[in-house]
Structures are given as structure tokens and as C-alpha cells.
A and B are shown apart, each in its own frame.
Chain A
Amino acid sequence: MKYVDEFRAAETAQRYVREIERIVSRSWTIMEICGGQTHAIIKHGIDRLLPQCISLLHGPGCPVCITSAGVIDTAIELARRENVIFCSFGDMVRVPGSTGDLLSAKAAGADLRIVYSPLDSLRIARDNPQREVVFFAIGFETTAPAIAVTVQQAKQAGLRNYSILSALALVPPAIEAILSAGGNTIDGFLAAGHVCTVMGYWEYEPLAAKYRVPVVVTGFEPLDILQGMHMITAQLERGAAEVQNQYSRVVTREGNRPAQQLMNDVFRVVARNWRGIGEIKNSGLVLNNDYQVFDAGHRFGLSHHQVAEDTRCISGLVLQGRKKPPECAMFGTVCTPERPLGATMVSAEGACAAFYRYRPGGGDKSQVTKQEM
């Protein structure tokens, strides 16, 4: 496939690895924000190709992983209602809330439909005017425009049986939360290319300056990630803290203006509770007052509740890059993708699931004692 296959060329990857080896002079810790990048790094073994002194931390960029158990409980409660067709992305249906998951609710009779696009849920609403159709709107800035265009179309069509349960979250406030927390060891960030396709990267410039960390907006194919690693290593070696754009084939500094415009029209920014991390100010999106009629919380008179999470699960520490999955005593024994304790083991992009799938024995290079080169 064009724009995919050529970015996996092994020989070019080896050249990048050699170039990184040549310029690196000491230990650096780099966090990739996005779960899609985590998955690509572990799947293609990029962490093992890189010099020993470059440690990778896996960030909180997995919307499935950070959706709170309380919101999942609300989703299950809605799905169980007699007249509701509950639509969700497939990634979400096996993530445990406090008492169960959506797939179990389906097994018990709930009308749960897995959709590829929120626009599919709109079609279901049109085809079932006598039923209430609710879409579970999870995702970051990458997904928010799709939700916005769907809700806007629902409004234009005058649909009265459609609503969304929003768990949409924003990435830059979470990065700032990680950077401002004491004791973080992160020297640089790979920013998520598809979030930046929508939002651009100007938001990262004040963060890079304030916390003196380089940020490189990076794509998802092996060569993208390796070039991003080279760019960030080069910045670290010369003491720079700039925002650079590796993924320029789709990302501009300003991002996609029409998408941002529609998001501004449809959503307002609120605080969001991130699973395993806690509340982060200004890190969530919900429908604004003009679109309240499409807000499932409003329509069904729901109140969000906080629930306790499984204390054996360290996914919050994993999401903040403070622990690696194999460091968890439950990893691969008590906690598996079939019987997950936390969301990071369920989602295909969760760090625990990536390690379980590609490194069942653990085998994370960065567990080896760091060597100064």
C-alpha cells in the first residue's frame, strides 16, 4: 500500500539505527505519547534496535485505557435499557468497569452494536426511529472531529432519537500533567502524529519552552518512528528543546482548520477523570449547550459517579511512564487480555497488551541496567 510499505523498508531502518548510534553520547529517556506508536515500537522491535542507552517510556495516549471505570459503568447501564441500541468502537467493549464490561451486557441481552465510524451509529438511528440510539464517544483530538460531524449531521437531520456519551479527552493537558509532576525522568517526547494532523503542533511550543523538553511530532510506521528518534536524539545531544515535525506529509503547524472549527462549534472543554491518573483540568470535551439535546447524560438524566479501581492494577503508573508492564506482579499471570484487571491489558494499543502479545516473557530491554556510553 502506498505511504505504508515504503515506510517499513528494513535497509533504511538499519541506516537510521546506525545514525542514532553514531550521534548518541549518553543515556536519554524518551516517551512516545501515543498507544499506536507504542504498539508499532513493540511489534517491530524498534526498542530493541535502538542503542542500549535510549530508554523508551510508553505514554497515556490510549483513549480506551484512560476512560474511567465510572463512565464504562454508565455505558453499561445505558446499554441495558430496554429501548436503547448502544453503539461503540470495538476496542471498548471488553474494558472492565467496576462490575463488568459491555460485551457481558450484550451476552445478557443488551443491544450492543460495534461500529467502525460514528456515522454508522447515525445510520442505525435513522433506521430505528422508534429506538434510542446512543454512541459511546471515546477518543482524543483525532476522533473528536468525526464525532462533531456526526452530531452536526444529527442536528441537521432533526434526529430525535440520537445521543452520545462523551468520554473525549485532550492530549496536551495530560502531557503537561506528566511534566509538572515531580520525579519524572522524561528527556523528550514523540508527539502523536494523528492528534497533530487535526490540531497542529503550535500547542506544544509553550510546553517545550516551559519544561525545556524537545518534542518531535512523529508518524506511525517504523521509518517515521526511527526518524523521530533521530531528530529528538540530535536535539538532546545539542541541548535544544524545540518542536519539530517529522510527520510533515500530513501534519502542519496549524492543523486542520475546518475540523477545529467544527469541534469549537460543537464541544466545550471540561475537566476529565483519566483512569489510573485522576482528574486533569481542561482535558475533556463534552457537547456545548447548543447540542445538549444530543448529550446522553442530559437526555437520560444520568449522573457520573466515581468508582474504585482494582488496587492490584498499576495501569496508572504504566500510563504515566513510571512503570513498565513487566514490572507488574500481575502481568501475564493474574492479568491477561482474556481476563484483564485494567484497560492497558485490553486495548490493542495498551502498553500491557502490546508487551503481552509481542513479549510474553517480559523482555523489555530497558529493564537492563542503563549503561552510560
Chain B
Amino acid sequence: MCLAVPGKLIGIRGDDPLTRSGKVDFGGIIKEINLAFVPEAREGDYVLVHAGIALGLVDEKEAARVFQYLEEIYSGDARGEK
């Protein structure tokens, strides 16, 4: 139920805060998505979408953390900080 999928915002329509919407590309499938809760979203951003509504933006830098975390563990070990 709480499934939410990231997709790339490729076009924005309207400026009413409640009905502002955008075309979002989910790996080739394009859907019209409500942008009421991501007023900061711009074309090219990745938005997280649930039930036709964008719930947030995906932060690219933070997304890399799942890989950096392992490196941090290893370097912590190497320095004997574990």
C-alpha cells in the first residue's frame, strides 16, 4: 500500500498550489502526477510518487550514502576506530 516509486519530472503544468501537476517518467512509463506537496520541484528533479501524488524529492547526494556507509565502516576499521 505504501509503495512509492521515484521518477523524473519532465514537464510542469499550472501554478495553482493545489492542482499544479507534472509529467513524470518512470523508466519509460509517463504519468501525470500532482505536485501540491513539492512546491520546490523543478524539471529534471526526481520525485517520489505515491497514488498519483509526489511526496518528496529524491536527494542525489544522500542517495549515495548507502554505498559510502560501507566505505566508512572499512576506513573506520583501517584506522582502528571500530
Contact = CB atoms under 8 A, between A and B. Distances in A.
Interface string B10-28: 0000000011000000110
Contacts, number: 129
A142 B37 contact: no
A347 interface: yes
Given A139-B1, A143-B1, A250-B48, A198 B55 contact: yes
Contacts of A198: 55
A190 interface: no
A153 interface: yes
A60 interface: no
Contacts of A318: none
Given A12-B67, A116-B51, A117-B51, A197 B1 contact: no
Contact of B26 (A1, A7, A64): A1
A138 B1 contact: yes
A314 B52 CA distance: 34
Contact of A35 (B1, B55, B56): B1
Interface string B42-82: 00001010111101111110110111011001000000000
A212 B35 CA distance: 38
B64 to A, nearest CB: 9
Interface residues of A, number: 55
Contacts of A249: 58-60, 62-63, 65
Interface string A115-144: 011111000000000000000001110110
A120 B33 CA distance: 11
Tell me the interface secondary structure of chain A in the complex.
Answer: helix
Contacts of B50: 142-143, 146, 194
A62 B73 CA distance: 34
A156 B36 CA distance: 14
A195 interface: yes
Nearest to A224: B66
B32 to A, nearest CB: 9
Interface in A1-27: 1-4, 7, 12, 15-16, 19
Contacts of B30: none
Contacts of A259: 37, 55
Tell me the interface secondary structure of chain B in the complex.
Answer: mixed
A276 interface: no
A163 B58 CA distance: 33
Contacts of A262: 36-37
Contact of A117 (B36, B53, B73): B53
Which residue among A117, A195, A262 has the maximum number of chain B CB atoms within 10 Å of its CB? A117
B52 A197 contact: no
A223 interface: yes
Contacts of B62: 248-249
Interface of B: 1-6, 8, 18-19, 26-27, 34, 36-39, 46, 48, 50-53, 55-60, 62-63, 65-67, 69-70, 73
28 contacts: A1-B26, A2-B6, A2-B8, A3-B46, A4-B27, A12-B66, A16-B70, A36-B2, A36-B3, A62-B1, A63-B1, A64-B1, A89-B51, A91-B1, A139-B1, A142-B1, A156-B18, A194-B50, A194-B55, A220-B3, A223-B66, A230-B69, A246-B66, A248-B65, A249-B60, A251-B56, A258-B38, A262-B37
Q: What are the 10 A-B residue pairs with the smallest beta carbon separation, nearest first? A: A117-B52, A1-B27, A249-B63, A142-B2, A3-B6, A249-B62, A248-B62, A146-B53, A259-B37, A146-B51
